[in-house]
Structure 1
Amino acid sequence: MPTEVALLESRALRVERMGRVDILDKVKSLVMLPDGIHVRTEDVARYFEVSTASVRRLTDRHQEEFTENGMRVLRGSELRSFHSDMMSLWAREGVESYPQAATQLRLYTRRTVLNVAMLLRDSDIARCVRTYLLDAEDSLRAQYGSLDQRVTRIESCLAGVGAALQELGPVLVRMSERLDSLDRKVERTHQVIGAMSLRLTDVSQDVARLDGRLDCFARQLRDLRRGGRR
């Protein structure tokens, strides 16, 4: 895991961690301007409990890096337009006055403030932010390590399942063949039963006819007996 010194010295390491702006509020509440996006140099200094001069010197020394992470310097018409927007927002919140910069205004985003935290040496708040940042990364790596172990165990189990399925393959094929054979036997049995049912129907009809003939013969025999007695 990178150390705090490495974070202070390596721009590449700072870039990798620039998305963790949530760390700022874990250490201390950052008061934003009414637009909810920007803060001024004095707001940044108040957050880190250092002088505004210290913040300005730091941002001047790393101006390119801070600019890439959202720092802007407003002048002229752009500054007047921004002041007008802020005055309107502050009026909605019931604030009577809004402090205006005379000629220029340096604005920072949360991303820029995090950038300051990763570079500002003489601030306990900045050190605390860096500690949170590195601890959060260490915790995340531990979670990923645990996840990797779980994935490895799952892959191992799946490999065992795959091997078992391969062994079961021939058995399942044989069972399928036996079931097919059984289906054919059952079908033949149904055919035999159907034929027997038809044959039994014919026999039943033959028996009915025989019963009719026997009844007729019995009547004739009774008639003959009556005639002999006379």
Structure 2
Amino acid sequence: MSVDAVLLESPTMRSTVADRVEVLDRVRALELLPDEVHVTTEGVAAYFGVPEQTIYSLVHDHRAELTSNGYAVATGARLSSLKEVCRIQSRARSLALFTRRTVLNVAMLLRDSEIARQVRCYLLDAEHEARAARGSGWAAEAVDNPFPLPEGSVDAAVARVAEQVVRSVLAATVVPVLNALVDEVGGNSRRLDAVADRVDRLERIVLDDDERTVARRRRRLLGALDEGVPDDPDGPAY
């Protein structure tokens, strides 16, 4: 698929470059009516080097999109005024009118025209250059602001929403978990302190009991020596 085919196939892409009417004159001079605003079907066909019937067919297939970009049919009083201003010698009861924006729209829809293809290529080049310029401008500001977002832009709005979502998620999930961990660690620490206290008490009890046992056996041994008969039911102390 050719590079310019993206414009032929994508209405969204066409809408992003619909204002770049200056590329028309870079390819070929466009003859406007004396009002310097409109072009007739005949003038559009001459610009692209195709039969007028090709333009009629294109309008039939894409009328809504072309109308959104300026296409209109003059009748009644408007047609009379236009004929007078533009010195149009015609008895037709209606006249199809294209603006420069509409002609650019035709260039993005017309497949069988070399002029239309060149216009599409110029459009893509111009868009690429514009994006590169925007990118270099943002890069120059990166030192002061790593994430430069124009105030009120869609990107800025998305960034604010994303920040709010992250904050709400942290508040709803991460923070409670951290609090629970802190409580659990604190509880474990208190339990360890209690165990340590119990160990200390047991050590004191064991040591005290051992000292009392030794003292008791010493007294019994001394008593047996005095009487000459050992009376320690546990046997000799040696």
The CA distance in 2 between the partners of 1:121 and 1:48, in whole Å, is 11
Aligned residues: 145
Shift of 1:76: 3.4
The CA distance in 2 between the partners of 1:3 and 1:12, in whole Å, is 16
* CA distances 1:54-73 after superposition (whole Å, capped 9, x unpaired): 01100111011111111111
Residue in structure 2 matching 1:110, options 100, 109, 113? 100
The CA distance in 2 between the partners of 1:36 and 1:101, in whole Å, is 22
| Identical aligned residues as a percent | 46
3-state SS of 1:115 partner: helix
The CA distance in 1 between the partners of 2:91 and 2:22, in whole Å, is 29
TM-score of the superposed pair, with normalisation by structure 2? 0.57
CA contact (8 A) 2:40 2:97 kept: yes
CA RMSD, 1 decimal: 1.8
* Moved segments of 4+, more than 3 Å: 153-156
- Stretches of structure 2 that go unaligned for 5 or more consecutive residues are 147-238
Partner of residue 29, structure 2: 29
CA contact (8 A) 2:34 2:85 kept: no
| 2:117 corresponds to 1:120 | no
Partner of residue 83, structure 1: 83
| Pair 1:101–1:132, CA change in 2 (3 A) | farther
3-state SS of 2:142 partner: helix
**Using CA pairs below 8 Å that are at least 6 residues apart, which structure has the higher relative contact order?**
1
3-state SS of 2:111 partner: coil
| Pair 1:50–1:36, CA change in 2 (3 A) | same
- Stretches of structure 1 that go unaligned for 5 or more consecutive residues are 88-97, 157-230
Amino acid of the structure 2 residue aligned with 1:15: S
| Pair 1:102–1:72, CA change in 2 (3 A) | same
| 2:167 corresponds to 1:147 | no
The CA distance in 2 between the partners of 1:138 and 1:148, in whole Å, is 15
